[in-house]
Amino acid sequence: MGKSTFFDAREIHVAKAAMSSLGVITYTGGALLGDLIQVSVTPDQTSSTHATEHSGKVTRYKTQGANITVNTEPLAQEKRVLLFGRTQDDTTDEVADNIADEAQHVGVAYYKAALDGTITAVFLPYALFNEGTDDVSTELENTTYSTSSTVGYAEADSDGVYRVQKVCADAAAAITWIKGKLSIT
C-alpha cells in the first residue's frame, strides 16, 4: 500500500544559523516562525545530457539545494529582523528596511501530516530568505485574503545535505525532533 498525500503542514520553526570555518553549524534564538499556511520545498536541479557511443542519449541530474516558499500569517517584527537582517529600534519598536540589510542564514524545521496518519518532520539546516511582496487591499464586500509569502533557498551544509526528513510517531515527537535540530529549549 502506498503512502497517502500530505495535507497538513505545521509548526514551522527557525533559528539563526552560523557556520564555522570547519563547516559546523550552530543555532541560536530559535522559535516558532508564525502561523504556517503553506510551505513548498522544490529541489534545484541542473541537468546534463550527452550522447554516448553505445548507450545513446544519457541524462544526469545534479541537485544543488532547494527553492523554498513559505506562506504564513504576517510575520512578527522580530522574525523580519531575524530573517532579513532588519534593524529594530528598541525605544520606538520601529523596524527599518534599509538597502544595506543582508538576509541571515537560518535553520528551518516543520512537520507535515499525511492522510494515512504519517507524520514527517523536515529540517533545512542552512537556508536564506528574501522578503516577499507586501500585498494588501482595502476591505470590500467580498473579503479577499492575502498571505505573506517569503521565498528562500536551502543551501547545502558542509556535508552536502540541504534537507533531512524523519518519520515520527506523532506530532509531539516531531516537535521534539524539530526543537532538537534547532537547539530550542
User: Per-residue confidence of the chain (185 residues) as pLDDT tens digits?
Assistant: 455 577 789 999 999 999 999 999 999 999 999 888 899 999 998 888 888 888 788 888 888 899 999 988 888 889 989 999 898 888 998 988 889 999 999 999 999 999 888 999 999 999 999 987 777 677 777 766 667 789 999 999 999 999 999 999 999 999 999 999 999 99
Angstrom distance (rounded) from CA 25 to CA 32:
19
Angstrom distance (rounded) from CA 177 to CA 27:
14
Give the global pTM. Answer: 0.85
Q: What is the pLDDT of residue 21?
A: 95
Query: Domain boundaries in the chain?
Result: 6-44+60-133+145-181
The Cα-based distances of 133 to 5, 71, 74, 145, 149 in angstroms read 30, 11, 11, 14, 7
Angstrom distance (rounded) from CA 104 to CA 113:
29
Q: What is the pLDDT of residue 3?
A: 54
Q: What is the pLDDT of residue 2?
A: 54
H helices within 6-156, ranges in order? Answer: 77-84
Q: What is the pLDDT of residue 167?
A: 96
In degrees and rounded to multiples of 5, residue 25 shows phi and psi of -100, 130
Q: What is the pLDDT of residue 108?
A: 98
Angstrom distance (rounded) from CA 14 to CA 16:
7
Angstrom distance (rounded) from CA 162 to CA 47:
18
Q: What is the pLDDT of residue 52?
A: 81
137 SS3 class = coil
The Cα-based distances of 41 to 93, 153, 176 in angstroms read 33, 9, 22
Q: What is the pLDDT of residue 162?
A: 96
